[in-house]
Copies of this chain bind each other. A is one copy, B any other.
Amino acid sequence: MMGTPQQERWIRSIPVSSQPPSLKDNTADVDRLVKEIEKALGGEEVRIDLSLSRKIPSLLREHGYHVRADLYKGLLSWHLVDVFPPTEAGSVYGLAVDLGTSMIEVRLLDLVTGEVQEETSFLNPQIHVGPDILTRIHFAGREGGLQKLQSLLVGRLNQEIQSLAERQGISTKNMVGASVAGNTTMTHLFLGLDPYWICREPYIPVLNRPGLIRPGDVGLGIHERGVVFVFPNAGSYFGGDLMAGILASGMNHLEEVSILVDVGTNAEVVLGNRDWLVACAGAAGPALEGGVASMGMMAGPGVIDKVVIEPATGEFQVGTIDGLSPVGICGSGMIDLVAQLYLARMIDIRGKYVPEKCGERIQTIDAMQHLIVVFSKDSGTGEALTLSQAEIDALMRSKAAMHTILTTMIRMIHLEWKDFRKFYVAGTFGSYINPRSAIVLGMLPDLPLEVYEALGNTSLAGATTALLSLRKRNEVDEIRNRVTYVEMNVNQEFMNQFSAAKFIPHTHRSLFPTVP
C-alpha cells in the first residue's frame, strides 16, 4: 500500500525553472510558470487561483525564476496550491483520516516518499454530545446543533493537525491534501450536512459523492488552497468507510467472489469480485435493536480478549490485553467466552445457562442468573467479573442478526457460502474476533479458517491508499459506481430467519457441520 508508485501521486511538489521574460518572450509571469509546470507534468493542464496569482510575479523575480511548486490533481486538471522559494525543503504532506463514530484516526504522510510520518488517534469529541450516531443525528436537529457537532470535530482535528505540524517541524501550509473516510453520518457531520433524513424512512443522505472539496468548505486547517478528498457513500447505512474498505481489501480486483464485513453497530457487508459488487447494510431497525456489536466494553489493558474452558474440568483460562489482571471483557473476548461456554455445555443451544454444568460459578443476582467469569481473588478490580443471562441474550440477538444479514445477503444474490474464496473482516473490533469462536456461535458461517482474513482499520488504510495514488483515488469512484446498494428488507421471511438463527450454532445444525 505504501509502495504506491511516485508517478501515481496526485499531490506533488516539484522544482520549476523558467527563463526570465524578455522583449522576445513577453509571456505573462503566471502563464510562464504554468507553462513550465505543464511541461514538467507531461503536458497536463494546470490551473491557478487568483489569490495565488497575485503573489507570483514578486516570488518569481525574487528567486530568479527558480521556485518550487506544490500542486494537486483535481478532477481534470492540476491545481497550483502554492509556490515557495527553491531553498525550502521540497516535501509535501497529506493526511489520511478515518472518521470513526468513536475514534478518529489520523495519519500524516510524506507524499514524496509515501511513508507514514506519524499516526495518531483520539476520541471523537462528538462523544460528549452522544456516544452513538442516532443521538448525534437528533442533536444535529436542534438549533445550532449541526454546527456544534461539525465544529467539535473539525476543531479537534485542527488541534491535532497543529500538533502534528509542530512535532514534525513542518508548517500546516505543507499539508496540501487530506483523504477522509467515514460512515455516512460522520461524513455528513464533517461536511456540515444535516443528517436528519439518514435515520428516517426512506433513509436518505443529503449527498453521496462529496468528491473533492476545499479545506475552507469545512474549516480544515491545512493549506487553504489545498484539497480534501471525501470518500463517497452508497447510502445512509453504507458509507465512505466501507468504500475505503473495499479499496483496501482489493476485492474489486479478484476474479473469485469474496465478502467484506465491517462489524460495527451494524454489520456492513460487501460481496463481489472484479465484475460486480453488492453492498448491504441493515437499516434493520428494531429487529436488531442494540446492533451487532453491542457486546462488552472497548479493548484496553486488563480487558479479557481470550477465553478457553477445559470441557472435561470446566476450568477457565482467560487471556487479557497486556497480560494484566482482568478488569472486564471486550466484544471479541465475549464471543470467545460464550463459544467456550457452549462447547463446555454450560449454556444450551438457546444460550441459556445450564446450572448443573456451571457449578459454583453460577449465581443469582437481582433475580437473574450470572456466571462468575473471574473470581474476586483473581480480578484486577477486587470484585468478581460476571456475565449475566441478559448479556448472553443480547449477544444471541446480535449474532443472530449478523447471521441473518449475511444469509439474507447471499440468498438475494443467489450464491452459497462455498462460492466465497475470501471472507474479509474489517474494523478494529473485527480484527480481534476469533473466527473459530464466531463460527461455533453461528455468528459467522462455517467456512475453513483460512478463508477468514482480518484487515484491521480498512477505512484508514483505504484513505491512505487514495491519498497516495490518483489511480486509487479514481478507483474509489469506480467502486462507488459499481456497488449496487441493497436495503435489507425486514419482512416476515427475515424475521423467521432471525428467529432460526437465535440458536447455537443454528436451528439447522447442518449449516455448521464442524461445530460439535
Within residues 1 to 58 of chain A, which ones have a CB less than 8 A from any CB in chain B?
21-23, 25-31, 48-51, 53-54, 56-58
Please state the number of chain copies in the assembly.
2
Pick the residue among B54, B197, B208 that contacts A206 (CB under 8 A).
B54
Instruction: Please indicate which of the listed interface residues A76, A201, A206, A236 has the most CB atoms of chain B within 10 Å of its own CB.
Output: A206
A57-B196, A218-B50 known; A206-B76 Cβ under 8 A:
no
CB contact under 8 A between A51 and B21, given known A26-B203, A30-B207, A197-B57: no
A45–chain B nearest beta-carbon distance, Å: 9
CB-defined contacts of A22 to chain B, threshold 8 Å? 202
C-alpha spacing A512/B54, complex, angstroms: 49
In the complex, chain B residues whose CB is within 8 Å of the CB of A57: 194, 196-197, 204, 206
Contact B26 A206 (CB under 8 A): no
Q: How far is B196's CA from A136's CA once the two chains are assembled, in angstroms? A: 54
Q: A210 at the A/B interface (Cβ < 8 Å)?
A: yes
Q: Quick check: B29 and A206 within 8 Å, CB to CB? A: yes
A194 to B53, CA, bound (A): 10
| Chain B residues with CB under 8 A of A217 | 49-51
A193-B48 Cα distance, complex, nearest whole Å: 13
B residues near A76, Cβ cutoff 8 Å: 76
Interface size classification for chain A: 35 or more
Cβ–Cβ contact A207 & B28, under 8 A? yes
Choice from B25, B30, B192, B235 contacting A50 with Cβ under 8 Å: B192
A209 interface residue, CB < 8 Å from B?
yes
Tell me if A213 is interfacial: C-beta within 8 Å of chain B: yes
Please name the residue on chain B nearest to A194 by beta carbon: B57
Residues in chain B near residue A245, CB distance under 8 A: none
Cβ contacts under 8 Å, A196 to chain B: 57
Check A202–B29 contact: CB distance below 8 A. no
Complex contact A487–B26 (CB within 8 A): yes
Residues of B within 8 A of A207 (CB): 28-31, 48, 53, 56
Assuming the contacts A194-B54, A197-B57, asked whether A205 and B487 have C-beta atoms less than 8 A apart, the reply is no
A-B contact pairs, 29 of them (CB 8 A): A21-B197, A21-B202, A21-B204, A23-B201, A23-B202, A23-B487, A25-B202, A26-B202, A26-B203, A27-B204, A27-B208, A28-B206, A28-B235, A29-B206, A30-B207, A30-B208, A31-B207, A50-B210, A50-B217, A51-B217, A53-B193, A53-B206, A54-B194, A54-B206, A56-B206, A56-B207, A57-B196, A57-B197, A76-B76
Interface residues of A, Cβ cutoff 8 Å to B: 21-23, 25-31, 48-51, 53-54, 56-58, 76, 191-194, 196-197, 201-210, 213, 217-218, 233, 235-236, 487
List of 10 A-B pairs having minimum Cβ-Cβ separation, nearest first:
A30-B207, A28-B205, A28-B208, A50-B217, A23-B202, A21-B204, A28-B207, A26-B202, A21-B202, A22-B202
